[in-house]
Structure 1
Amino acid sequence: MDEGFRRRRRSERASGPKRGDGLEPILKEIDELIGLEPVKDEIFRLVDFARVVSLKKDRDLPVSNLTFHMVFTGPPGTGKTTIARYIGRLLYELKLLRKEKLIEVDRSALVGTHLGDTARLVQDKVKDALDGVLFIDEAYTLAGGGGATGKTDPFGQEAIDTLLKLMEDHRERLVCIFAGYTTEMRRFVEANPGLKSRISRTVEFPSYGGDELFQIFESLVEKNGFNMTEDARDEARKVIDDLARNADENFGNAREVRQFFEALQPIQAERIAEHLDEVDDIDQIDNETLMRIEEDDITYYAEHL
């Protein structure tokens, strides 16, 4: 091989981005997320700890058998999957994971219908997630209700037992994050001592308040190129305040706001389409009009909830 080529490739590698260079930008992205202040604090503490562990490993200093397996608890739509992806990116930048990836699964991806199926399914998913993060949503369903009902679930228990063994076998190459409702997840962890002993921390995700939900809505409007009249903005705020006021434990938080935003788009389009026959030239409808959400769009949505 041409020595000049080797030198050029070495120079390119030396001048290119290095693992670790992306750490601060990721932390900045997390800090700029709407709400989730206690979650951010916990993630920043995790990063401080991980930095020290990474430094010790770089210097061949002794490090105890540490793991970064976690439990995420809280209602749906509060950013658990998003934060899990960030954790994968952070641990990759800190050289504690070899790959920047997240594999998301739930009970249906881990539990088979016949004897022996479950162990194989779990092994396959763990293999896919090796050197990255395995995110298990609604993990409590593996225990027939998370230990809350006392029901036995042999297939779910087989998935848990197989996963525990693989977590131990691949402790240097796998981070598992178990997620679900707060009460169910606490019971699930308490009912599985082997799992509890392997969890390094639990992160509680709070519901969003009305102000935060409205900020999320405004960000969706802006990111998708729409604009709102002031009257539309006031009406949207009322809708979102009502959503927050009537929220229960099953409230979807940011997911509900996204559904609201997505439902507005066909309503807005139908309003505009009604006026197409009234113009001689379709070019008379300017781009601002096409991308404007008006008060009537919001009130129509509210009346047809």
Structure 2
Amino acid sequence: MSTPPGNPTSIPGQDALRPDCSNCFALCCTAFGFSRSADFAIDKPPASACPNLAADFSCTIHGSLRTRGFRGCSVFDCFGAGQAVSQGLFGGVSWREEPGSQPAMFAAFRAVKQLHEMLWHLAQAQDLTYSPELAGEVQDLRARLAAAAASGTRSVLGLDLDGLHESTARLLWTVSEEVRAGYGADDGGRGAFAGRGASAGNSPPLHAGADLAGARLRGRQLCGANLRSAVLIAADLRGADLTATDLLGADLRDARLDDADLAGALFLTQAQVTSALGSAGTRLPPALSRPSHWTE
């Protein structure tokens, strides 16, 4: 994947969490495996180089990934872990120069990607919270995660990632509740959220983890809804207002976002946006870029 186009405005701390493929040893094209599907044209086992990888670590079909059946590659975002591992933890020495470094480098990449993704969300959480005490907790955890990501390969590979995920999830949920409460959300993450709009009476229940594949939510006021980990594949969200909607981990593949307002959505990532379909009228958070295929 290439660095997203445009010049988005970052929340402080997010700039270092953007991919810079020119300083990476194509770790996303090697460390991870994938299976032949709608997102990938071939099978590729983990810890193996993609057949489309060039000698200089560039992609030989980068300009036509989507049309060649590699939509998953065009969506992937490492949150800057690629260059951090390649140039930081491994000092600019590639796995091709030192083949014995492959297992550790690929494992470190997988770990640092998780750390950087947590850092991305925590940066937004700190920017959103109204509570100085909660902001302090988030800042402390951000400092711990940043230090861990740069602590050296052995330390990174020995991290308790599950524990760090739990700590991050707790703080993100607390901030989400705080922000969404300002929009009347009181579901506590469990109950249904009907939303508002002309067809609200016909709406499926909206809650964390809801199966909303293909749901008709066009023009709906979904402000403050909790759609964490919801399946929104091919959902019609055209013209919908998703201000303060928690979209952490939501599956937005092929969701219709034409003219939707996601400028104030919570915990949205570039990968989620790139996997969806939108238009010039779609409003995005300042930190995210409009995918090129939206205008093509």
Structure richer in helix, relative to its length: 1
* TM-score bracket for the superposition, by shorter chain length: under 0.3
Name which structure has the greater RCO, CA cutoff 8 Å, separation 6+: 1
Larger Rg: 1
Question: Scaled by the length of structure 1, what TM-score is found?
Answer: 0.25
Question: Scaled by the length of structure 2, what TM-score is found?
Answer: 0.26
Structure richer in strand, relative to its length: 1
